[in-house]
Chain A
Amino acid sequence: MQEPDNSLGYSPSHFWDALPAPLGGVRAIAVGFGLVSLVTIVCTGVATWLPAHGVAMLYVLAVVGGAVAFGMPSGLAAATCSFLAYNFYFLDPRFTFSIANPRDLIALVLFFAVAMTTGSLAGRMREVADEARARARSLQSLNELAIRLSGASNLVGVGESLASEAAQVAEGDTVVLCKRGDNWVTVARSPAAPQLTSADWQAAQRSATSQCVIYPAVPGWPGSVYEFHPMIAQGATLAVLGVHTRVAPDTGTEVTLQAMVRHAAIAMARISLETEKVAIAKEAEAERLRSALLSSVSHDIKTPLASIEGAVTSLRQLGDKMPDETKDDLLLAIEEEAKRLSRFVTNLLDMSRIEAGTPDLLEDWIDLEDATSASVRRARQLMPRANFQFESECAPAIIRANETLLEHVILNIIENAAKFSQPGTPINVVLRRSDDGYVLTVEDRGTGIDGAELPKIFDKFFRGAGSKAGGSGLGLSICKQIMEGLGGQISAVSPITAEGGTRVTLVFPVSIEAAATIGRVA
């Protein structure tokens, strides 16, 4: 019993742990005989000044020592041997088993009774201590398993914790099997666990379907070498623990193993609930995004509609009283708003594509330079008073992306820059190549972004203090989502000069495939 047990709380330096395992049969008798011989030799040596009852006391000591150190059988053997030796060596007539004095006979009988009682009591004490020690060890293992399980975040983690802790308790090898789809697979195993044979797999499945412990075949007979414990939570078998030991496990070990299996099953159930919870939270988040998107889009559509209806009714009802330039301006307003409306509808369709799930963001080969210049052209049409400057240091800049979504991002960033700048101030759009990939920067000379708000601008639903009413705070967060889908990054720096200004940087990774394609074409 000198297993290395350095686990927390349970110290191997305890007195009982230093003791050998209880002995039985011939070895117990041999130990009892040996102890009594020793005492006899000592007593013979000091018999001249030792009183007669002192000898009896020393024999009792041997009995107690034997029972405590080597278990009850050794104690009882020592008691019997002492009875004989005491009679033979120390009671007159000495060196015979006969007894001269009847009082000595009574003393001897009393001695035997005391020795047997002491021996069995001491042995019983030893057994109780052993049991307590086993219980402590089993609690210790359960405790350790519980600690490991509470940290496990997936089924494999639970399987590994169970496999290693159960292997220690059973002093053997373990495997944890789990059902994946229609097949059973090994999730975890202790290092020396024997390979599973088809007989083992069958036994494991029998255990899973019957939800009972399946015991190993008797050695020499065909069948599984493992004992299989089903791991059941809420009526379903989540996994199976297989235990392989060379010695038959005792009841205590069996109870501990079953407790461990229950612990692990609960942990597995917890993990599957957590997974479900995460999925539900994700769903709720998507739902929130959808409704925010809807309200943002509905505002974006209603405003131009209101302008168009207002301008048209004004022209029809009051046109006669208006000067010509006012009438022209209203007509221009109608045209502009119609364009704005059509762009929102396009955006809406883009967004619904993102919302519909995971669009294939990398579906196409795109020339980033071309896409950027197209977006700048479109921005110029939409915001004729803004001063967009575009320069590119790389052509072509081929990346893998979805053209519509890419344009959505670029246009959104460019438009944002124009929205927060005075008309006429330059908005510089620059595309260049760096070690990280293609870098697109958009710089404006606007008021810049407040330092406290800057880290939040890409968060969902964040709206700056100076932003327009009715915006949902989704524009930039959708851009970020798309950029991440493209494997790129988006970041903002502000202010960039003493007067303010904001620089938004988009980094697009250079596809290795694209580089190869260009190489072939060139």
Chain B
Amino acid sequence: MSGPVKVLIVDDEPQIQRFLKPSFIASGFSVASATSAKDALRAFSSSSPDVVLLDLGLPDADGKTVIEAMRRTSKVPIIVLSARDREGEKIEALDLGADDFVNKPFGIGELLARVRSALRRTSQPIQHGIGEIDINGIRIDLARHQLTRNGVQVHLTPKEFDLLAMLMRHAGRVITHRQLLQEVWGPANVADGQYLRVFIGQLRAKLEDKPAEPSLILTEPGVGYRFADPS
């Protein structure tokens, strides 16, 4: 990547743009802004940003249509800005291909961290299938179906392994319940949220220092789970 990282900020509230723009500039990004879905898609094709911040409540169209349109041509990280109480909206956005979300109101530090994490994932894509992932002392060998925690082997059932592998492959990124169920249990089981709760509980019992206060597999209430960022 040459030159400053380009961020496209799509939000119809001028007051949000007002602090986001100088903050990203001060953090070394170059910034493009859009206040409507139409503007956003135009700026997206003309400035080809490296990361997109998207508010879902746009005046001219549902923000989700913007995600769909962008995903047709690009894998650029899209981070959704949304109110805390709009779980349904966030889930839909993530299922449509958004990478992450930040609840409004947010501190600039949190947002910048999410943006960096998303950028890191795209610049060093973790290979799917064969390979090893090592995050925070958890080392997963995808080929041999083996897991070690701080060098000690941990036994996982095949479903536990698949679930953990899915979370670790997308470490730092939120995966919706639906995405996890579909990937691990298959499309017929997307409504069976109870499986997920049970298996997440088992994984935490095996991996976390304090399963009641997890630091590796984090819950995003109402949305899904996130494997702690490698940073």
Q: A interface vs B, CB < 8 Å?
A: 298-299, 302-311, 313-314, 317-318, 321-322, 326, 329-330, 333, 336-337, 466-470
Contacts and interface: CB of A to CB of B under 8 A. Distances in A.
A309 B107 contact: yes
Nearest to A305: B105
Contacts of A298: 83, 85
A470 B57 contact: yes
Interface in B18-51: 18-20, 22-23, 26-27
A322 B19 contact: no
Contacts of B12: 468-469
Contacts of A318: 22-23, 26-27, 108
B59 A466 contact: yes
Contact of A307 (B15, B26, B59, B83): B15
Given A307-B16, A333-B15, 15 more contacts: A306-B106, A307-B18, A309-B105, A310-B16, A310-B23, A310-B106, A310-B108, A313-B107, A314-B19, A321-B26, A322-B22, A329-B18, A330-B18, A468-B12, A469-B58
A298 B86 CA distance: 12
B39 to A, nearest CB: 14
A349 to B, nearest CB: 22
23 contacts: A298-B83, A298-B85, A303-B16, A305-B105, A306-B106, A308-B105, A310-B106, A310-B107, A313-B109, A314-B19, A314-B23, A314-B108, A317-B107, A317-B108, A318-B23, A321-B26, A322-B22, A322-B26, A333-B15, A333-B18, A466-B59, A469-B12, A469-B57
Nearest to B20: A310
Contacts of A330: 18-19, 22
B15 A302 contact: no
A311 B106 contact: no
Contact of A310 (B19, B27, B83): B19
B128 interface: no
B15 A304 contact: yes
A39 to B, nearest CB: 98
Given A306-B16, A337-B15, A467 B105 contact: no
Contacts of A466: 59
A306 B110 CA distance: 13
Contacts of A314: 19, 22-23, 26, 108
B159 interface: no
Mostly, the B contact residues are mixed
Contacts of B15: 303-304, 307, 333, 336-337
A306 B58 contact: no
A465 to B, nearest CB: 8
A379 B23 CA distance: 30
Contacts of B83: 298-299, 302
A311 B57 contact: no
Nearest to A306: B105
B95 interface: no
A302 B55 CA distance: 13
B104 interface: yes
A52 to B, nearest CB: 105
Nearest to A295: B85
A467 B109 contact: no
A310 B26 contact: no
Contact of A468 (B18, B19, B59, B104): B59
Contact of B59 (A299, A313, A326, A469): A469
Contacts of B209: none
Nearest to B103: A306
B134 interface: no
Nearest to B104: A306
> Which residue among B19, B26, B109 has the maximum number of chain A CB atoms within 10 Å of its CB?
B19
B68 interface: no
B92 interface: no
